[in-house]
Structure 1
Amino acid sequence: MKVLLIGSGAREHALGWALSKSPVLTQLYCAPGNPGLAEIGECVALDVDGYEDIVAFCREETIDLVVVGPEAPLVAGLGDALEAAGIRVFGPSKAAAQLEGSKRFTKDLCAEAGIPTADYAAFDTAEAARAHLKERALPVVIKADGLAAGKGVAVAKTQHEAEAAIDACFSGAFGQAGAQVVIEDCLQGEEASFFAIVDGETVLPLVAAQDHKRAFDGDTGPNTGGMGAYSPAKIMSPAMCDRVMDEIITPTVKAMAARATPYRGVLYAGLMITADGPRLIEYNVRFGDPEAQVLMMRLQSDLLPVLLAACDGRLHEADIAWRAETALTVVMATRGYPGAYEKGSEIRGVEDAAGMADVEVFHAGTKREGGKLIASGGRVLSVTALGKTVREAHARAYEAVSRIDWPAGFYRQDIGWRDVVRETAGEPANGKERVDGQG
């Protein structure tokens, strides 16, 4: 079976790594791919925004399945173009991808379906949004409605911060994504990431994870695309996973089907676990990054048949199994990220790190030049390890990181700290996480 994987990040490298182990895979193509993916598949220079090129390539190479990694092509309608051409694709339609493409769409759907989330209001003008601020208690969360590469969200603790965030959206700081703004209450609790594969009707829950968005240790500094993650997360007990399925995921899938826009693909719920239970922060219509790295390390089943079952409406026939160990990933980023940073620094020692047992190094912002590995982006590597406990996975991942010689890079040293503290203190978990795919 021939598979085309769209994307170039560590998420796609992790997905490609998992797909490459399938006995039914005959050829893996990656567009545009990265140096890590080039070691397990063939990278092809396709314009991922040029749907005609992708469709033509799929026809020429008789591609059996296209797996779309990033959200932007899905929101723009790549899935529709492939389906119209009779090409099987893992990923939602443009209409269903609004769950990530429009914060207002998701909030309205939550209100209609009774899905627990923060109270909100949406606005088309800065004047209306500013007037609403006078009626809402601080802090508040200001969100650009559309895709803003993770930069369109601000937690405002003061009136001045809130007004500045509104002005940034409507002044064009985030392009068309800021044409509408959602203002919502600031939820209190612990964040977690929950994933499920959906075929339009059947939902197959995956394991949960927890990521770290802030750039620096102690959850300080600016928000990023993610500086690390681990799975399982103790906050997501079997009972909590059941609640997420019953109160959030299943009602969403039913609501999308009722709108005649059935959801097919992976559904990623960003959650806040509050004192009153789970609350939806946002939906993503693709695997998380860096969460995909830890999920793929824990995956015991063959990924490819599960994705095919979702595409073909046969998810009720699929099963999925997970390793019981903890997986933890540390993102190595270029100094200055998520702000301005310089490209072109050399990275050494990746082979040494990747040679460790139970360690994989997934590439993101890298390229090869004259036999050298060069940093070409903000988030550059995801160093991922397995361990019997969070502490063991943490120690192994950071041992691997220490073997990578890259003076121009930086990383957080406290990934997984919440559960490291819980293990050290002997705090009981909320319950042993199930590893049979049922939550």
Structure 2
Amino acid sequence: MGSFTQALAEMRSAGNAIGELERKLADKAKETSDLLKRQREIPKRIAALREGASKINDPKEREEKLETAKQLENGLNNHVDIDERATVFYASISEHHDIVDKMVSDLLESKKLIPTTLSSNEAKSLASELKELIPAFQNILEKNKEKLAEWKHDEPIGTTTAVKAFFFGTEWQTNSSWQDVYGILPLLTGSLLIAGVSLLFAVPVALGAAIYVNQFSHHREAALLKPAIEFVQAIPSVVLGLFGVLVLAGLLKDASAHPLLSWIPGFPIQERLNVLLAALLLAFMAAPTIFTLAEDALNNVPRAYSEASLAMGATRLQTALKVVLPSAVSGIIAAVLLGFGRVIGETMVVLLVAGNKAAIPEFSSGLGVVTQPVHTMTSIIAQECGEVETGSLHYMALFMVGLILFLISLSVNSYCQRVLKKSTK
């Protein structure tokens, strides 16, 4: 174990030099970014000072503001020399190559310290995997060298590249000291995953309740159950979100640690706020919508259908499942789709309980993916829109997220209208 520990320590230290270089360049990039940001803000500050000066009655104070605006206007000519500031990055390319070559050499040397005879099957598997990973890592580094050789700081980014980066980007990273990245895939994946899981819970419960109320319950019982279920829609989403954070999250995490539930993928739950928690709350919110529309669809089926079925000797259950339900299938599909639109457009619940991790979930974990935290399109808008500068790239990215969310909701609702019209013919 001594040689193994030494190998591990040397492998970790092999990346120290490249980490130091990255931090140094990140500081330079942030310094340049801050200068450019201040430069872009000068015209706004000048306009604000002049507007404020026009409203001041005191001549001396008004003159001071106008003088400050004039000084800022003179400073507009002092442009930030990007070409000069980029020289440090070009100069570091050769240093980067030397550091990378030494890092690979150190990794190969440290790999030799790993014992060749290992008793644990897991250790053998990891050692075998390491032998494959280091050559793959070398290939990645060589490709990066080629990219660095072709890199130009003033190369324009085309519209096609920008669109691809947004719609197919796997990262959403803001307020970064290095570079902000706006890729919608993590947000879209999180929204669809939560919506899908929530419907798995909501549809059977809501549809079962609709069938029972419409086909089996007494009219007095139906008069009590239907308003009670629909009353759930009156609960504010922020209240449900707080209940999820303060109560349900802890209960779900504690319950997942029970030995009898250890067979369920993802249990025990590691992250307190996750997809499953958000889906349960959204299912509770969407169930009344699905129930109401599904019950109306069942109620629109001509009574003659069920009477004919009962007259032929079918039971009430057979009539409900084989006659009434298939006849109302178009309305039920519309109810489910409207329930989908309800959950994918929800903001407060997912903002509070989904975990807000802007990364694509690890689907390789199978069903355990539902225990991971995610971010959604609605929650990212609510979280970041209040602090973003109007007209900035960040602002436009959030606007595009909202536009895509609007198009999804519009498409779902338009399709539902077609289905409902078809079901009423």
Q: TM-score, normalised by structure 1?
A: 0.20
- Pick the structure with more helix per residue: 2
TM-score after normalising by structure 2: 0.21
Between Structure 1 and Structure 2, which shows a larger proportion of strand residues?
A: 1
Highest Rg: 1 or 2? Answer: 2
